[in-house]
Amino acid sequence: GENVEQHPSTLSVQEGDSAVIKCTYSDSASNYFPWYKQELGKRPQLIIDIRSNVGEKKDQRIAVTLNKTAKHFSLHITETQPEDSAVYFCAAPNTGGFKTIFGAGTRLFVKA
């Protein structure tokens, strides 16, 4: 069945360092890969997404890379700041996008 694996479950970095979170997915028909940031008690907020016709997308300090052959996609945050501390989820839809599977989440701590 469909599955999305996310690693690591917890990541602690010093302010200014980079953070990388990785996901793998199983449904080869998946064509859209969003990343969500969730602060405590809040809704998941879309921070960046990538479609399967591109390999990389960047938006200021965040970037996402996609390797469709290996079914991997990664979130990269550069120059991390304390306000980047949150739980980050990757996700992938099944064929048709009727069902979205979320990864287990990565709790990112950025130490000042």
Partner 1 sequence: EPEVTQTPSHQVTQMGQEVILRCVPISNHLYFYWYRQILGQKVEFLVSFYNNEISEKSEIFDDQFSVERPDGSNFTLKIRSTKLEDSAMYFCASREGLLSNQPQHFGDGTRLSIL
Residue range at the interface with partner 1 (CB under 8 A); choices 20-28, 49-57, 59-67, 78-86? 49-57
User: Shortest CA distance to 21 belongs to which of 109, 112, 111?
Assistant: 109
Q: Which is nearer to partner 1, 10 or 81 (CB)?
A: 10
- Spatial neighbors of 42 by CB under 8 A, at least 6 apart, are none
Nearest distance from C-beta of residue 82 to partner 1, angstroms:
21
CA distance 99 to 112: 38
Residues that bind partner 1 (CB under 8 A): 31-32, 34, 36, 42-46, 49, 51-52, 89, 91, 93-105
